[in-house]
Amino acid sequence: MAKLTKMGRANTKTVVDALKAAVKSVEEEFGVVCTFGGRRYSDEGFHCKMEVGLADSSALADQQKREFECYAQQFGLKPSDFGKVVMLYGSRRGQEPYEICGVAPRSSKYPILAKRKRDGKVYKWGAHTVRLAIEGKEVF
């Protein structure tokens, strides 16, 4: 590929994809998983968050489950709601299945974390929206 002269949305995605490919050998060598978070970019460059965790993510899942069980009632949910699949409206695709996977207790507006089943991306949702979805009611 030719050298970049301007960093924009498309070029940022291209560079991050190349970084992900380059990091694969490090992941395999050390038994870790690297994920790249949200990006902010300008014409000159970009920055993004990179998280590194152990490949055995069961410890992380257990921690998220314990935290959810601790805070669930604060948001009107049951501790047993962790891991439930609910139908929520995504962008332009209508209802899609999301799995409740965590809580952000310091977020008053969107405290419930749910992973979209299609691609595994985690989104923040309002507690009321998730409560209605658990009850099987349509939420727009």
pLDDT (0 to 100) of residue 130: 93
pLDDT (0 to 100) of residue 61: 75
- Residue 49 located in a structural domain: yes
- Residue 91 located in a structural domain: yes
In this structure, the answer to whether residues 50 and 92 fall within a common structural domain is no
C-alpha distances (whole Å) from 19 to each of 4, 22, 29, 138 are: 15, 5, 16, 40
In this structure, the answer to whether residues 66 and 123 fall within a common structural domain is yes
Number of domains composing the chain: 2
Query: Which residues have a Cβ under 8 Å from the Cβ of 91 and sit 6 or more positions away?
Result: none
**Residues shown for the chain:** 140
In this structure, the answer to whether residues 82 and 128 fall within a common structural domain is yes
- Residue 139 located in a structural domain: no
- Residue 4 located in a structural domain: no
pLDDT tens for each residue of the chain, 140 residues long: 678 888 888 888 899 999 999 999 998 898 888 888 888 888 889 998 888 877 766 666 788 899 999 999 999 999 999 999 999 887 677 788 999 999 999 998 999 999 998 888 899 999 999 999 998 877 65
In this structure, the answer to whether residues 65 and 123 fall within a common structural domain is yes
Please give the DSSP secondary-structure letter assigned to residue 137: -
In this structure, the answer to whether residues 28 and 71 fall within a common structural domain is no
Sheet of strand 122-125, all strands in order from the earlier edge strand to the far edge? 85-89, 95-103, 112-116, 122-125
CA-wise closest residue to 113 among 121, 104, 80, 62: 104
Where do the DSSP E strands lie in the chain? 32-41, 46-54, 85-89, 95-103, 112-116, 122-125
Identify the domain containing residue 39 by its residue range.
9-54
- Residue 1 located in a structural domain: no
In this structure, the answer to whether residues 48 and 71 fall within a common structural domain is no
In this structure, the answer to whether residues 49 and 25 fall within a common structural domain is yes
pLDDT (0 to 100) of residue 139: 63
Query: Which residues have a Cβ under 8 Å from the Cβ of 109 and sit 6 or more positions away?
Result: 126
In this structure, the answer to whether residues 50 and 65 fall within a common structural domain is no
In this structure, the answer to whether residues 92 and 125 fall within a common structural domain is yes
In whole angstroms, what is the distance from residue 57 CA to residue 67 CA? 15
pLDDT (0 to 100) of residue 35: 84
In this structure, the answer to whether residues 76 and 41 fall within a common structural domain is no
